[in-house]
């Protein structure tokens, strides 16, 4: 199960259920995918098909919506 948390244009932010305990968010774009850790600080874990400019844009979006992702993570994984 991969619940979508947020969409910004063609960008999808989601979780993979039961993947691992450390808070993170996956990002899917038409060009590729990335995974960002939400703790202890927002940082890139891995990516595929994205250039540095796009990764920076995505990281800025993750920072902008950090609280949304953390609340959604806590709600989803408290079940």
pLDDT tens-digit profile of 41-60?
A: 999 999 999 999 999 999 99
Partners of 37 in beta bridges: 24, 43
Angle (nearest 5°) at CA 19 between 27 and 58: 15
Cβ neighbours for 9, distance < 8 A, ≥ 6 positions apart: none
Whether 17 contacts 1, CB under 8 Å:
yes
Whole-angstrom Cα Rg for the chain: 12
Q: Give me the pLDDT at residue 50, please.
A: 98
User: Which among 55, 26, 49, 28 has a CA at the least distance from the CA of 38?
Assistant: 26
Q: Which whole number is the average pLDDT over 3-14? A: 96
**Pick the residue with more confidence: 77 or 18?**
77
Q: Give me the pLDDT at residue 79, please.
A: 63
Instruction: Note the pTM of the prediction, 2 decimals.
Output: 0.93
Q: Give me the pLDDT at residue 18, please.
A: 76
pLDDT band at 20 (very low <50, low <70, confident <90, very high): confident
């Amino acid at each position: 199960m991969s619940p979508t948390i947020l969409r910004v244009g063609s960008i999808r932010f989601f979780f993979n259920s039961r993947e691992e305990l450390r808070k993170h968010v996956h990002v899917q774009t038409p060009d590729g995918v990335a995974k960002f850790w939400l703790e202890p600080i927002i940082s890139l874990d891995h990516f595929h098909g994205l250039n540095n400019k796009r990764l920076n844009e995505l990281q800025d979006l993750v920072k902008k919506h950090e609280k949304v992702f953390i609340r959604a993570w806590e709600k989803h994984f408290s079940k």
